[in-house]
Amino acid sequence: MRIANLTALEAGKRIKTGEMSVAEAVSSTLDAIETQDSELNAFITVPDREALLARAEKVQKDIEKGVLTSPLAGVPIGIKDNICTRGLLTTCASRMLYNFTPPYTATAVDRLEKAGMIVAGKTNMDEFAMGSTSETSFFGPVKNPWDVNRVPGGSSGGSAAAVAAGEIFASLGSDTGGSIRQPASHCGVTGFKPTYGTVSRHGLVAYASSMDQIGPIAQDVADCAAIMDLIKGKDPLNATSLDLPGTNYLAGLIGEIRGKRIGLPQACLGDNVDADVKREIGKAAETFQRLGAEIEPISFPFLSYMIPAYYALAWAEASSNLARFDGVKYGYRAQGAGTLETLYRNTRGEGFGSEVIKRVLLGTFVLSSGHYDTYYKKAMQVRALIKQQFDDIFEKYDAILCPTTPYTAPLLGESASDPSKSYLSHIFTASVNLAGLPALSLPCGFDDKGMPVGAQLIGTRLADGAVLNLGFAFQSVTDYHKRLPGEGRKEETA
Q: What are the boundaries of each domain within the chain?
A: 3-262+397-482
pLDDT tens sequence across 256-270: 999 999 999 998 888
- With a cut of 80, say whether residue 469 has pLDDT above it: yes
Top-level CATH class of 3-262+397-482?
Answer: alpha beta
Backbone phi, psi, residue 243, to 5°: -85, 125
155 preceded by a cis bond (ω within 30 of 0): yes
Q: Are 478 and 493 in contact (CB under 8 A)?
A: yes
* DSSP class per residue in 265-330: EGGGGSTTS-HHHHHHHHHHHHHHHHTT-EEEEE--TTHHHHHHHHHHHHHHHHHHHGGG-SSSSS
The pTM is what? 0.97
The model's confidence at residue 421, banded by pLDDT at 50, 70 and 90, is confident
pLDDT tens sequence across 156-184: 999 999 999 999 999 999 999 999 999 99
Instruction: List the single range of 6-10, 114-118, 187-191, 264-268 with lowest mean pLDDT.
Output: 264-268
pLDDT tens sequence across 6-36: 999 999 999 999 999 999 999 999 999 999 9
- pLDDT for the residue numbered 444: 98
- With a cut of 70, say whether residue 3 has pLDDT above it: no
Q: Is 174 a catalytic residue?
A: no
- With a cut of 80, say whether residue 492 has pLDDT above it: no
Query: In this structure, how many other beta carbons lie within 10 angstroms of the beta carbon of residue 479?
Result: 13
Angle (deg, nearest 10), helices 22-40 and 157-164: 120
Q: Are 176 and 314 in contact (CB under 8 A)?
A: yes
> Hey, which residues does 121 pair with through a beta bridge?
78
The model's confidence at residue 1, banded by pLDDT at 50, 70 and 90, is very low
> 101-107 long-range CB contacts below 8 Å, 24 or more apart?
102/203, 104/203, 105/203, 106/200, 106/202, 106/203, 106/204, 106/214, 107/200, 107/202, 107/203, 107/231, 107/235, 107/237, 107/238
Q: Is 155 a catalytic residue?
A: yes
Q: Are 87 and 134 in contact (CB under 8 A)?
A: no
To the nearest whole number, what is the mean pLDDT of the chain? 95
- pLDDT for the residue numbered 270: 85
- pLDDT for the residue numbered 301: 83
Q: Is 179 a catalytic residue?
A: yes
Catalytic-role residue among 132, 134, 137, 155 = 155
Q: What percent of the chain has pLDDT over 70?
A: 98
Catalytic-role residue among 179, 185, 319, 415 = 179
Catalytic-role residue among 80, 122, 143, 193 = 80
- pLDDT for the residue numbered 491: 47
- pLDDT for the residue numbered 418: 79
pLDDT tens sequence across 364-403: 999 998 899 999 999 999 999 999 999 999 999 999 999 9
